Amino acid sequence: ADLDRAARAASPQSRGALSAAAKGFSKDAVPFDAYLDEEGRLRKVRHRFSFASEGPEAKEVTVVSTLLLYGFGVPVTVTLPDDDDIYTGEIRQG
């Protein structure tokens, strides 16, 4: 996925966060694998994010994030965390 392109196409509410994320990663694209089930539904997505570490021996760090999707059609209850429980961090501009 091209982060700059995604940021330009995003809603105004998401555009700033995506633009900041694009500047924090060491690569312009986020490689991903998408897995579909027999009905064509997205079941798993694996992203690989890369960024530069800090320190005298700075290296590229890769983080792999996997999202599993299941229970389609099952009612759910979602409770958002309190604002004090959310930490968005800071993105170092490279």
For the stretch 57-93, what's the b/e string if a residue is b when 16 or more beta carbons lie within 10 angstroms of its beta carbon? eeeeeeeeeeeeeeeeeeeeeeeeeeeeeeeeeeeee
- Amino acid 91: pLDDT: 59
**Rounded CA Rg of the chain:** 16
Residue 92 CB partners (closer than 8 Å, separation 6+): 24, 54
pLDDT tens digits, residue range 9-57? 888 888 887 777 777 777 778 889 999 999 999 999 999 988 877 777 7
- Amino acid 90: pLDDT: 63
